[in-house]
Chain A
Amino acid sequence: MLFIDKYRPTTLDKLDYQKDMAQRLERMLDSSDFPHLLFYGPFGAGKKTRVSAVLRHVFGPSVDKLKVENRAIPKPGSSGTVDITTISSPHHIELTPSDVGTQDRLVVMELIKEIASSRPLEITRAMGGGPQEGEGRGRFKVVVLNEVDHLTRAAQHALRRTMERYMSTCRLILCCQSTSKLIDPLKSRCLCIRVAAPTNDEILAILNDVAHKERMVLPPRLATRIVEAGQRNLRRSLLMLEACRVAKYPLEPDQEITTPDWERFLVDTARGVVEEQSAQKLLVTRKRLYELLVNCIPPEVIFQRLANELLRKCDSELRAEVAHWAAFFEHRLQQGTKPIVHLEAFLAKFMAIYKRYSQRMTLA
């Protein structure tokens, strides 16, 4: 079992950081009812951990009896169906509507309506499943929707009224990275909970804690280096710690921290672009970009990392301009359909800027 799963806090009071919020959540859940919730925060900040802790707090251990289901939703007006995988327990159902791409509106409309329009059996009370017997417990189901920021506008609009209408039988818990892409009506219907990424100190404490529980000696210097490489992402940091242990044990302070190969590959690509600016180089880079895309690295991620690397490597006077073009081409990438074109355009632009600058510098 991986560290991230093994040491994932299971209840609200065991959470390692943002204890204030956890306590308040607990208070609210104890009052037997809660509004729709929206958890937002960056990757690896612990959104899902909080969601499952909330569910466990409300429904007790029976939420762990999970089953995976494939549901087929008939398309109206044609014979086809939309298939979506759901994970469900007697009390809740979890799905990622954006998995089905542009058909997500259908999922939101039909599936959630179907789930929400029937009243759940009051099994919690009968079986004594809940940790505390409360009036409202088990009176409603919970639908957990992941990645709601990837929902299409149409799907978000479809959610609006559904959320209000079936409030008495159903609560939604939404998870997303940022609320920027959510329409206001959705935000105003939820209690929005910001899950900030843990600070470096908090991550350090958790790493030491895990190491202690695993009975391994974690040199302080290595710990600090892992925290820095982890970029305030707890999941990443813990995975790195585990990778270090696999690579070499006992741990050494200056041991190499393994990063994913695609990241190293990207860093190399960026270095290449800074070293040489020519049409030939662009062709070479194109091959590398294709390789990344073929390996299912999302183009947004490639863009982000590439831009960060180039910004780090180029001269401080160029940064504002590079940042501008990175934002410009990334925007186009989102609107367009062929990611490779925009990635290349950005690299070509970067080469042009960089070359002009270095020529000017040599002239001067």
Chain B
Amino acid sequence: MEVEAEAGEPVINPQQDEHAEIEAEVTEKKNPKTDRLLPWVEKFRPKVLADVVYQDEVISPLRQFLQAGNLPHLLFYGPPGTGKTSTILALAHELYGPDLYHSRVMELNASDERGINVIREKVKVFAKGSVTHRPASVPPPHPRRRRVSGLFSGLDWAIAGGPCLWGGPACDGAPRSNYRYPAPQFKLIVLDEADSLTADAQSALRRVMETHARVTRFCLVCNYISRIIEPVASRCAKFRFRVLPPESALTRLRAICASEGVQCPDQALLRSMQLSEGDLRQAITLLQSAHRLYGGALTPEMFTELAGVVPEDRMGLFTRALRSNSFDHLQRAIGGLLADGFPAQQIIAQVAPTPHATRPTPHAPRHDRHTPHATVAPRLATISSHRTPRTAPPPGEQLLEWVVEDPELSDVKKADIAYRIAQTEKALADGASEELQIGALGAAAMETICLGARPAPGAAITTTTTVAPALPQPRPAAAGAPRRPAK
């Protein structure tokens, strides 16, 4: 191990903080007490590929790579909390084992400086370094071995030689015949959260990935594959991580409960998965928070409260105000919601159904037939319909759902409101004021809903202002829809 470390360091030139990190991890191992202080997300992070939940399409090819001891460049993408980082870390551990892990794997994420300079300096230097570098004190490998490895150049040797024959520390000068990891002759660079790499940095990666392919593999992990430039994406084997349906993660959550001594019935666990929209990390955090905060036996309601979901009666107040056609009423409802600290994004998220089958409402099953994830929805419905008892039907607890199901509203009106919701969401993401945005959304929705209901004198005026002469620029984002006369 020590020889290995010495051999490795001059070549790979790890960053300063990498030292600190290694030290931190070493001390953690020495001190089992701190184990308790780890968040469960870290503590129960899958150690081996077999532990990764649900992503079979990804895991089985990876396992084949592992058996062959060879890897292409990898690109993992998918929504948060589906196990991307866990998979690559588990893979790296299974590839290199504890001894070689730190010298062979370099992990860079958004918390590290990652401009183009870092790609040029750190990544390139790490990628360039040969893994067979030895200090002078260690004798060179056996000549025959060298000859054989000379026969198979580059990538092929690992496959030809099979896992333990030449790979591993033996070739690095620290002879140890019983190293049970494949330890292939290349290093691994994990670029976590790669979608936050600048385009320049990604371009700089292109050639680096090719020239050093013999000694280095890259693994890019990101949420949105569209943010990875095409040349980089085409150099990688892409793996999509799917959103976890609630029941798939149940076993894992149960195991965590058992090992931490949490009393949590399945329906509460299911609720936590529903609330986190298939994000297992969030579900585990919720579970831990609920355990810490409430203790004892956990109920689904506790999760609902913790997730910061706007309670039904409050949402009901808002949607009733929308129907009231009274602006004062609406303003009061909105003011109340915001003063109680409910974030506008949450109100919108609840007003509009989320695209996932598992929505952050306790009543997901009822609406599942509207969601595009048809494969997931029926399963979810069968599982949770008999477990989450429905309370009284909430009147318009979900604005868009309610609008869509309302037979009195015309299609144009429905489209208008959906359009407004999208606009508001965008403006909020840009950092616009919550009160004004929600106010405008509410006013527009109210106007649209109540327009046909009674003769609204304001309607005539508002329709004429579609294109305001004061601002001659065409403004597709602003004017159009809400002012459109509803026929």
Contacts and interface: CB of A to CB of B under 8 A. Distances in A.
A binds B: yes
Contact of B428 (A109, A164, A180, A185): A180
B148 interface: no
A328 B289 CA distance: 38
A35 B432 contact: no
Nearest to B347: A180
A256 interface: no
A28 B288 CA distance: 11
B458 interface: yes
B111 A159 contact: yes
A188 B117 CA distance: 31
B344 interface: yes
A330 B432 contact: yes
Contacts, number: 217
Given A168-B34, A356-B461, A35 B285 contact: yes
B344 A136 contact: no
Contact of B111 (A45, A161, A303, A326): A161
Contacts of A167: 37-39, 42
A331 B430 contact: yes
B425 to A, nearest CB: 10
A266 interface: no
Interface string B443-487: 110110000000011100110010010110000001000100000
B366 interface: no
Interface stretch (A51-59, A207-215, A270-278, A311-319): A311-319
Contact of B436 (A187, A188, A190, A304): A304
B470 A352 contact: yes
A315 B443 CA distance: 14
Contacts of B292: 28, 31, 33-35, 191
B410 interface: no
B299 interface: no
A169 B38 CA distance: 9
B368 interface: no
B20 A158 contact: no
Nearest to A360: B461
Contacts of B112: 109
A285 to B, nearest CB: 15
Nearest to A135: B33
Contacts of B117: 77
A320 B327 contact: yes
B143 interface: no
Interface in A152-180: 154, 157-162, 164-169, 178-180
B339 A160 contact: no
Contact of A317 (B36, B80, B457): B457
A188 B289 CA distance: 11
Contacts of A330: 432-433, 436-437
User: For chain A, what secondary structure do more than half of its interface residues adopt (helix, strand, loop), or is it mixed?
Assistant: helix
A139 interface: yes
A321 B308 contact: no
Nearest to B80: A185
A204 interface: no
A300 B432 CA distance: 9
Nearest to B424: A327
Interface in A316-364: 316-321, 323-324, 326-328, 330-331, 334-335, 345, 348-349, 352-353, 356-357, 360
Contact of A178 (B282, B331, B343): B343
B340 interface: yes
B293 A164 contact: no
A34 B291 CA distance: 11
A109 B196 contact: no
B253 to A, nearest CB: 15
B470 A35 contact: no
A331 B37 contact: no
Given A185-B80, A326-B440, A162 B470 contact: no
Contacts of B36: 33, 135-136
A292 interface: no
Given A179-B343, A327-B427, A335-B430, A164 B461 contact: no
Nearest to A183: B80
A188 B439 contact: no
Given A77-B117, A109-B111, A196-B339, A321 B344 contact: no
B443 A161 contact: no
Contacts of A34: 292
Contacts of A154: 110, 196
Contacts of A311: 327, 331
Interface string B339-380: 111111110000000000000000000000000000000000
A39 B341 CA distance: 10
Given A42-B338, A188-B281, A300-B433, A320 B465 contact: no
B232 interface: no
A188 B276 contact: yes
Nearest to B195: A157
Interface in A208-244: 231-232
Nearest to A25: B293
A288 B471 CA distance: 23
A324 B24 contact: no
B458 A317 contact: yes
Given A27-B293, A194-B341, A317-B458, A323 B443 contact: yes
Contacts of A189: 39, 41, 281, 285
B266 interface: no
Given A28-B293, A168-B24, A189-B285, A328 B341 contact: no
27 contacts: A109-B112, A117-B21, A117-B24, A119-B27, A160-B110, A160-B193, A161-B109, A164-B39, A165-B21, A168-B38, A180-B345, A180-B429, A188-B285, A189-B41, A191-B293, A192-B308, A194-B342, A321-B458, A323-B439, A323-B440, A324-B482, A326-B436, A327-B424, A327-B437, A331-B430, A335-B430, A345-B471
Given A41-B341, A117-B17, 15 more contacts: A31-B295, A108-B111, A117-B21, A117-B24, A158-B111, A161-B111, A178-B344, A178-B434, A189-B41, A191-B306, A232-B339, A320-B444, A321-B462, A327-B432, A349-B468
Interface of A: 24-25, 27-28, 31, 33-35, 40-42, 45, 76-77, 108-109, 113, 117, 119, 135-136, 139-140, 154, 157-162, 164-169, 178-181, 184-185, 187-192, 194-197, 231-232, 300, 303-304, 307, 311, 316-321, 323-324, 326-328, 330-331, 334-335, 345, 348-349, 352-353, 356-357, 360
